Amino acid sequence: MKLFNLWSAFVLSSLIAVGASAQPAQHKKEMPRHSDAAAMLKQDMRKLWTDHVVWTRDYIVAAVGDQPDAPAAAARLMRNQEDIGNAVAKYYGAPAGQQLTALLKDHISIAVDLIKAAKAGDKAGQQAADAKWHQNATQIADFLGKANPNWPRATLVDMMNKHLATTTDEVVARLTKNWDADVKAFDAVYDHILHMSDALADGIVKQFPDKFGGAAMTTTSR
């Protein structure tokens, strides 16, 4: 009798286990199909724009300090603009990528002129370069805004102008040898560029959902 009871208990527990495993996972949420691709794009964009500000800083430090590595830093910085253009070309075509690269290389060239003028104490030259720099920033915003409706022009202009402002703070701090301000300025540069790169990545995902697996799958429970 005791053996029978043990056997009955075993069979009952087995049936309960099988029944539980057959039930749908009501509390298990399915991840969006596009999450991995979108996350990878965001990571890639962050890498590209991090390179942009890191190599800009490397050039600023070298140029202001009359270091011999300034030309090498400038060359690497220019290559970064090609990398960004190539990344954009995957979605908007080679001509668009080349156009963005050209605009970004102008962005860097003008910054070089601005640093030279500031270092030489040439106020007029500095003001002229700064005006040209902001004009170029508007051109970049116009280009991106026309390419993607998820990137409002006003937002892009604001982001570009903040990028210029934080970079200018970095240059001024380095020139005046205010090292605490220099560190603070680069923190601001880096924080902002991550925000900007994320906004660009999000806009691409919204514009090209098919490239990222389409719309997210619905969840089975709340």
Per DSSP, the three-state class of 110 is: helix
Checking 128-135 for CB contacts under 8 A at 24+ apart, the result is 130/168, 133/107, 133/164, 134/161, 134/164
pTM of the model: 0.80
Report the amino acid identity of residue 71.
Answer: P
pLDDT tens profile 40-90: 999 999 999 999 999 999 999 999 999 999 999 999 999 999 999 999 999
Q: Check residue 154 and give its pLDDT.
A: 95
Q: Cα(1)–Cα(16) distance, rounded to whole angstroms?
A: 23
Q: Check residue 5 and give its pLDDT.
A: 47
pLDDT tens profile 126-157: 999 999 999 999 999 999 999 999 999 999 99
Query: Does the pLDDT value for residue 216 go beyond 80?
Result: no
Query: Does the pLDDT value for residue 215 go beyond 70?
Result: no
Find how far residue 73's CA is from the centre of its chain: 21
Looking up tokens 């098919």 gives 210
Average confidence (pLDDT) over 91-116: 97
Per DSSP, the three-state class of 93 is: coil
